[in-house]
Amino acid sequence: MSALLDPRRVKQDFPIFANNPGLVFLDTAASSQKPNVVIDRVSDYYRHDYANVHRGVYRLSARSTELYEGARETARRFLNAADASEIVFVRGATEAINLVVQSWGAAFLKAGDEVLITELEHHANIVPWQLLRDRIGFTIKVAPVDATGGLDMAAFESLITPRTKMVSVTQLANATGALLPVEAIIRLAHAQGAKVLIDGCQAAPRLQVDVRALDCDFYVFSGHKTYGPTGIGVLYGKRAILNDMPPWQAGGDMIETVTFEKTTFQQPPARFEAGTPDISGAIGLATALDYIESLGRAAIEAHEGALTEYGMDKLSRIDGIRLVPAGQRRFGILSFAVEGIHPHDVATLLDGKGVAVRAGHHCAQPLMEKLCLDATTRASLGIYNDESDIDALADALKAAQAIFAR
């Protein structure tokens, strides 16, 4: 049975709502709230099973290691990766991208090469490449958005050349909610021999993701946006590619043998997880991913898709509200301008009504510049949102307009 999502029931799984009566939380794109199962799992783990991993001979450490590696297996299943060794635990998407840049990029990019990104990227998928470029001297090309706010695929295609070694793109733009055609992007990139990194921060919690069907080379997401703890995230990399990548941080756990003359390194994923990892974070994340699966990925996608449509319709009926263009398909994120009211004032006024939204450039300054906006107000959806949250947003927006209309 493909069950429908019941957001009222889901809301009861998230104690933040009982503890903040009246809270209308519409900032899941920044970070999601946490369900009881995740909060409880993390504290239960510390209460019952905690010890360092990969080190102790004693049973408690073995149990802890089993849970940590079990979390890796859960993440593998979540992405449908071929093997758990393709899952590297990191602090979050930012660290995952920096890992790829500093390990893969530093080893395989040289002057004359090109890295292709898009105007829709989060700073986390721009700045790490710039830092490495300044050291190595390759070129960063930027595929533009078209007039509809979607990725300009014709321009994108013309920018992929045999010099393109890496295409690093977001699957779902955090600033506008634009969904990118990653399947086509990956096909075009591979046809020119380029590797592809997909920034799945906003997509992983909302869409059904299958890295093998996508055939991307890297996929990254953050646990805290996926109903899991902060401080944990996932880098997926194809086994053969990870195998060829050098370590990026060094220390315990990532070595095979160490002498003062020469050190040999572990196979992936251990090679990329120097030091004691965020064990409880990984276990909490696995619980979050299981929780998502228990609701049903298809049900979540259908629910948030329908709610996005509802929100677009509702907002477009309010005079003076203009949705920021987001291409052919907008998903889970509603970014908009309110005529005559700066986004920061909008967000303060909405907060006065208990409606939590984000205002600002959403870590996408180049995109804002392109869209001729200093900032926008952004409402983003999660599994606990329903039509009543959108209605509350619309009412609060009208109240804000009334205050400014004086």
Ligand X SMILES: Cc1ncc(COP(=O)(O)O)c(C=O)c1O
Footprint on this chain of ligand X (rule: CB under 6 A): 92-94, 122, 124-125, 170, 174, 199, 201-202, 222, 224, 363
Nearest distance in Å: CB 361, another protein: 6
Residue 406 interacts with, from another protein, ligand X, none (CB under 5-8 Å by kind) = another protein
Length of the chain (residues): 406
Query: CA-CA distance, 233 to 171, in Å (whole number)?
Result: 16
Between 39 and 356, name the residue whose CB sits nearer to another protein: 356
Closer to another protein by Cβ: residue 82 or 402: 402
The contacts of residue 291 (CB under 8 Å, 6+ apart) are: 13, 35, 37, 38, 227
- Cβ proximity to another protein: between 212 and 344 the closer is 344
Give the integer Cα–Cα distance in Å for 144 and 314.
29
Residue with structure tokens 């802890």? 64
Question: In the complex, what is the shortest distance from the CB of residue 360 to another protein, in angstroms, rounded to a whole number?
Answer: 5
Locate tokens 């889970």: which residue? Answer: 332
For residue 262, the partner it binds in ligand X, another protein, none, with Cβ less than 5 to 8 A by kind, is: none
Active site residue 363: yes
Q: Which residues bind another protein (CB under 8 A)?
A: 340-345, 348-349, 352, 359-361, 365, 368, 374-375, 400, 403-404, 406
DSSP, residue by residue, 354-381: TEE-EEE-TT-HHHHHHTT-S-EEEEE-
> CA 343, 349, 351: angle at the middle one, nearest 5?
100
DSSP reduced 3-state for 142: strand
Instruction: Return phi, psi of residue 311, to 5°.
Output: -65, -40
Nearest-5° Cα angle at 80, 171 to 198? 20
CB of 236 to ligand X, least distance (A): 15
Residue 145 touches which of ligand X, another protein, none (CB < 5 to 8 A by kind)? Answer: none
> Using CB distances below 5 to 8 A depending on partner kind, what does residue 47 bind out of another protein, ligand X, none?
none
Q: Which is nearer to ligand X, 280 or 401 (CB)?
A: 280
**Smallest separation (angstroms) from ligand X to the CB of 33:** 15
Which positions are catalytic? 363
